[in-house]
Amino acid sequence: MTARRSLDLKLILSVLAAFMLSMAFTWFLHSRLSDRDAYKLIDRTFENAEAEITDCVNVRLVQQCMAARERIDDGHPLDTESLQALAKELHVTEISVADSEGNITHSSVQDYLAAPGKPAFNFRTAGGKAEDMMCLVTGPETEYCQPYRSNTANGAWRKFVGVWRPSAGGFIEIGCDGESLRGLARSSIMDLFRNWRVGGTGGIVVTTATGLVLSDYAEPNREGSQWSDPDDSFYWKRKEIEGFPVYVTIPKNAAAVQRDVLVGATAALNGAALVFVALLVGIVISSFVRQQLRVQTAKELEMAKDIQLAALPNVFPPFPDESRFDIWASMETAKEVGGDFYDFYFTGQERVLFLVADVSGKGVPAAMFMMRAKTLLKSIAQTGKPLARVFEEANDALCEGNSSNTFVTVWAGEINKLTGHVTYVNAGHNPPVARRGGRVEYLKSRPSLVLGAMPGVRYSLNEIQLEPGDAIYLYTDGIVEQPNAAGELYGEDRLLKLLDGCTQKRGAVLQTVIDDVRRHAAGVEQADDCTQLVICYRGEPETFSGRYRPVMEDLAKATADLSSALKQVPEACKNRLMVAADEIFANIVRHSGATDWTMTVERTRHPDGIRLVITDDGKPFDPLSSRDPDTTLSAEERDVGGLGILIVKKTMSPVTYRRQNGRNILTIGSDYGNQDKK
Amino acid sequence: MEIKTRNEGTRLTISVSGRVDTVTAPELEAGLKFGDAECVVIDLADVPYMSSAGLRLLLTAHKTMLARGGELQIAGVQPSVKEVLDITGFSGILNLV
């Protein structure tokens, strides 16, 4: 049990460990997944933000460029100082005017203009990205924006925007450095990102080159203050777009919550599945174990039942030489092992004790108590003490250490086979049925206390006189308390009526009762052990005895003696006995080596029959153990050896043999009267 | 025991009266003389019972007749005798009529 419990514990612990491990793995996996997802989102956001910022800046710069074109077309002076003034006015870094060949004709930047020994800056020939601007001359574009980048002319960071100048055939180009870009686009960018949310709770922060916050989705009033990089509780990335440092930040706790919810749900689901599977497996295993246990228990109970039955005398007739009385008993056990028993044995030369008992309760405890009670009663009774005394001693012994308060009801009688006088004690048992002089009635007596209930109890002795032909029928309550489908018990009245009408003798009456009880039950399962015992008193037999020598002359004499002893016996029965006796006589005279042999003829009553006891002092010979000859051989192969014994065995019942005091004692019998003479 | 013999040409009828057992068997054995009869009938109508001592004689007689190419018939078998013949398997060997 301890081993099994520790096994259970180990099992539970390892299942728990596996469960925790799988949860940790899920948590880790989802953490990594949410990290990856967050950075993916950030990258995507940057792509969108870049497009938006670029759009926003372009629109604003094209406006400025158009404003410059308008002023120039209106006649704004084109000398370098004037253009510088215009650039300042329009908040751009530089303004240049190009002709249709791509030559800068006027510019706020002196370097772009033609000087002695140096041609003017030409977009077509300058190389790098400058040539792209020529699309304004070739069409169909009327405005063109370059990205913010390091410029071709002098390496400074600029964003150039150009617009076509239809009035002159060339184009106007403005350039902005980072600061002027930020100055121009600031407010529209601030509008753009203020309400832009990333992944629910994240957003975009834009700062100036020096880290002053332009737009902060989370804290609008922080705008203008100094930016500091977010801490570990954020996923974030920085990227410069069109000169704006842009930060995309997502608080980790949002992703973490999502992950924790997912892991929690998975855990709950897994847990539920685990519990379900565990329950299922538990149910399957326990039902299997229970099934095994049931099978084993059934097997053990079956063995207990067999042991119990084997403890009861089960050879009938039990005393084949005994012609003065007959005892028959049977026990039909119910499905469950119970505590019924019957018993009978000689308690003296002439006295035979017979009893039926029922132990309270069922199962192995009852069966064990039954064995104890049976053994105790027998061992005390065989000391020859009076029956009441036997009960008193057995009761005291059974009470010792009887913590389970099991008890046994017993009805026991002791018959003197010579006189038919019966003394009996009833320890709380059902009253038996007595047939006396053809009258059938319950043998009611004041019952004494059951055995095993209380020590020191006195048992009262009752008596009854049986005459030849009388009988006593004992039973346990399994007989009278067998219900039918309607719950109606078989009952004592039905039993008495059946026995009154019953003319059968010997053991047949027991089967008749069982059959009737079964008929009454009509398919309802046998409720309890059904135990019965019947003792028939036959009284003094008529007997003849003769002693003979092993010579043919005496064999003829014995045959004549037997023939006259059987005068009253019906012909068929007599013939059978004569044949059987002749076979036995011939064997003794021819083969036994005996010096003397005897024959006793006893006539029995109720039923009418003959018992022939033949003894000899020859060598031991048990005819019952001899092998039967083959009676199927053809005439040529046959001889007559062994046929005599075969005839005896086949025609006589009972046939018993024993060796006692140096003599073979063979008893053969034949009954002819199986009708009760009322 | 009483044994009567009637001869009708090649057919010999032996009528037995009384029990056949160890005591009477020698008497019957002495009476079973078949001469040169081709068919022998043993009539057991008046035999109340027969033990294995009688069976031995019947078997011997049967074998004798078979050996000389003749026939042995057993007639008038009573119930007690029939029972013994059945138990011992002799009913299947002997020619019961």
What is the tens place of the pLDDT at every residue in A595-645? 999 999 988 866 778 999 999 999 999 988 888 888 888 777 777 778 899
Residue B73 scores a pLDDT above 80: yes
Which of A537, A555, A588 is the last residue in one of the domains? A537
B50 shares contact with chain A (CB less than 8 Å):
yes
- Do residues A477 and A562 both lie within one domain? no
Most confident range, picked from A99-103, A226-230, A253-257, B82-86: B82-86
* Residue to substitute from A562, A633, A637, A640, interface B, most B β-carbons within 10 A: A640
Token pair 């629109």 in the structure block, residue: A59
Tokens of B85: 């013949």
Alpha carbon of A650: minimum distance to chain B alpha carbons (Å): 7
A476 CB burial (10 A radius; 0-12, 13-18, 19+): buried
Q: Which of B59, B80, B83 sits opposite A635 (nearest CB)?
A: B59
CA-wise closest residue to A504 among A553, A561, A557, A435: A435
As a whole number of angstroms, the distance between CA B74 and CA A135 comes to: 149
Q: What pLDDT does A606 receive?
A: 61
Cβ neighbours for A223, distance < 8 A, ≥ 6 positions apart: A190, A213, A214, A215, A216
Alpha carbon of B6: minimum distance to chain A alpha carbons (Å): 26
DSSP string, A6-73: HHHHHHHHHHHHHHHHHHHHHHHHHHHHHHHHHHHHHHHHHHHHHHHHHHHHHHHHHHHHHHHHHHHH
- Do residues A583 and A514 both lie within one domain? no
- Which residues in chain B are closer than 8 Å to A636, comparing Cβ atoms? 63, 66
The one-letter code for the residue type at B48 is P
Pairing of strands A433-436, A421-427: unpaired
B66 shares contact with chain A (CB less than 8 Å):
yes
Asked if A556 and A581 touch (Cβ cutoff 8 Å), the reply is no
Q: Output phi, psi for A655, to 5 deg.
A: -125, 120
Most confident range, picked from A40-49, A358-367, B66-75: B66-75
Q: H helices of A218-251, where?
A: none
Measured CA to CA in angstroms, residue B24 lies from A20, A564, B57, B64 at distances of 105, 17, 11, 21
- Which residues in chain B are closer than 8 Å to A582, comparing Cβ atoms? 21-23, 51, 53
Percent of chain A with pLDDT over 90: 36
Record: contact B51-A631, CB cut-off 8 A: no
Record: contact B79-A572, CB cut-off 8 A: yes
Interface of A with B in 659-678 (CB under 8 A): none
Cβ neighbours for A90, distance < 8 A, ≥ 6 positions apart: A64, A67, A68, A174
Considering the domain boundaries, does residue A130 fall inside one? no
pLDDT-derived band of residue A677, with 50, 70 and 90 as boundaries? very low
Alpha carbon of B5: minimum distance to chain A alpha carbons (Å): 25
Interface of A with B in 640-659 (CB under 8 A): 640, 643-644, 646-647, 650-651
Q: Output phi, psi for A298, to 5 deg.
A: -60, -40
Pairing of strands B11-17, B39-46: parallel
Considering the domain boundaries, does residue A12 fall inside one? no
Interface of A with B in 509-568 (CB under 8 A): 552, 555-556, 559
Record: contact B84-A633, CB cut-off 8 A: no
- DSSP label at B96? B
pLDDT tens, position by position, A525-565 = 888 889 999 999 988 777 889 999 999 999 999 999 999 99
Record: contact B87-A632, CB cut-off 8 A: no
Most confident range, picked from A188-202, A530-544, B34-48: B34-48
- Which residues in chain A are closer than 8 Å to B84, comparing Cβ atoms? 579, 647, 651
For the beta carbon of residue A368, count every other beta carbon within 10 angstroms. 16
Record: contact B93-A635, CB cut-off 8 A: yes
Chain B, nearest residue to A576 by Cα: B80
Q: What pLDDT does A4 receive?
A: 63
* Mean pLDDT across A231-259: 79
- Do residues A454 and A586 both lie within one domain? no
- Do residues A456 and A433 both lie within one domain? yes
Token pair 């440092």 in the structure block, residue: A245
- Do residues A243 and A378 both lie within one domain? no
Q: Output phi, psi for A414, to 5 deg.
A: -130, 115
Considering the domain boundaries, does residue A514 fall inside one? yes
Name the region of A216 (left: φ>0; alpha: ψ -120 to 50; beta: rest): beta
Query: Which of A145-153's residues contact partners 24+ apart within 8 Å by CB, and which partners?
Result: A145/A54, A145/A58, A145/A61, A145/A62, A147/A54, A147/A242, A148/A57, A148/A178, A148/A181, A148/A242, A148/A243, A151/A175, A152/A126, A152/A127, A152/A128, A153/A111, A153/A112, A153/A121, A153/A126
Q: Output phi, psi for A81, to 5 deg.
A: -60, -40
Q: H helices of A351-486, where?
A: 363-381, 387-399, 477-480
Q: H helices of A197-345, where?
A: 252-310
Q: Which of A576, A583, A636 sits opposite B52 (nearest CB)?
A: A583
* E-state strands within A538-641: 542-548, 597-604, 609-616
Considering the domain boundaries, does residue A61 fall inside one? no
Q: Which of B51, B62, B93 sits opposite A579 (nearest CB)?
A: B51
Record: contact A579-B84, CB cut-off 8 A: yes
* Mean pLDDT across A297-323: 83
Considering the domain boundaries, does residue A492 fall inside one? yes
- Do residues A213 and A355 both lie within one domain? no
Q: What pLDDT does A336 receive?
A: 72
Q: CATH number of the domain at B2-92, out of 3.30.750.24, 3.40.50.510, 3.40.50.300, 3.90.550.10? A: 3.30.750.24
What is the C-alpha radius of gyration for chain B, rounded to an integer number of angstroms?
A: 12
Tokens of A558: 């014995």
Which of A537, A557, A583 is the last residue in one of the domains? A537
Q: Which of A576, A582, A634 sits opposite B93 (nearest CB)?
A: A634
- Do residues A467 and A383 both lie within one domain? yes
By three-state DSSP, how is residue A247 classified?
strand
As a whole number of angstroms, the distance between CA A418 and CA A465 comes to: 12
CATH of the domain at A593: 3.30.565.10
- Do residues A517 and A577 both lie within one domain? no
CA-wise closest residue to A626 among A651, A654, A645, A652: A645
Considering the domain boundaries, does residue A43 fall inside one? no
Residue B97 scores a pLDDT above 80: yes
Chain A, nearest residue to B20 by Cα: A579
Angle, helices A643-651/B52-67, rounded to nearest 10 degrees: 130
Q: Which of A589, A633, A640 sits opposite B52 (nearest CB)?
A: A640
DSSP string, A152-172: TTT--EEEEEEEE-TTTSSEE
Please state the length of chain A.
678
Write down the domain spans for chain B: 2-92
Between A272 and A605, the higher pLDDT residue:
A272
Cβ neighbours for A598, distance < 8 A, ≥ 6 positions apart: A545, A546, A547, A548, A613, A614, A615, A616
Record: contact B21-A650, CB cut-off 8 A: no
Which of A537, A567, A589 is the last residue in one of the domains? A537
Most confident range, picked from A79-93, A300-314, A383-397: A383-397
Considering the domain boundaries, does residue A307 fall inside one? no
The one-letter code for the residue type at A412 is A
As a whole number of angstroms, the distance between CA A27 and CA A22 comes to: 9
Record: contact B51-A576, CB cut-off 8 A: no
DSSP string, A443-456: -----BPPBTSSTT
Asked if A255 and A34 touch (Cβ cutoff 8 Å), the reply is yes
pLDDT-derived band of residue A675, with 50, 70 and 90 as boundaries? very low
Token pair 């069982």 in the structure block, residue: A514
Between B91 and A538, the higher pLDDT residue:
B91
CA-wise closest residue to B53 among B78, B84, B86: B84
Among A361-370, A503-512, A545-554, the range scoring the smallest mean pLDDT is A503-512
Asked if A42 and A237 touch (Cβ cutoff 8 Å), the reply is yes
B59 shares contact with chain A (CB less than 8 Å):
yes
As a whole number of angstroms, the distance between CA A85 and CA A92 comes to: 10
ipTM given for this complex: 0.96
Token pair 């925790």 in the structure block, residue: A20
Record: contact A647-B84, CB cut-off 8 A: yes
Residue A504 scores a pLDDT above 70: no
Asked if A359 and A373 touch (Cβ cutoff 8 Å), the reply is yes
Q: Structurally, how many domains does chain A consist of?
A: 3
Q: Output phi, psi for A664, to 5 deg.
A: -80, 130
Identify the domain containing residue A450 by its residue range.
314-537
Considering the domain boundaries, does residue A265 fall inside one? no
Alpha carbon of B76: minimum distance to chain A alpha carbons (Å): 17
> How much is the mean pLDDT over chain A?
86
For the beta carbon of residue A183, count every other beta carbon within 10 angstroms. 15
pLDDT tens, position by position, A118-162 = 888 888 888 778 888 888 888 788 888 888 887 766 677 888 899
- Which residues in chain A are closer than 8 Å to B22, comparing Cβ atoms? 552, 555, 559, 582, 585-586, 589
Record: contact B89-A631, CB cut-off 8 A: yes
Q: What pLDDT does A589 receive?
A: 92
* Sheet hosting strand A597-604, strand order edge to edge: A542-548, A597-604, A609-616, A663-671, A655-660
Alpha carbon of B61: minimum distance to chain A alpha carbons (Å): 11
Q: What pLDDT does A222 receive?
A: 67
pLDDT tens, position by position, A386-428 = 999 999 999 999 999 888 889 999 999 999 998 899 999 999 9
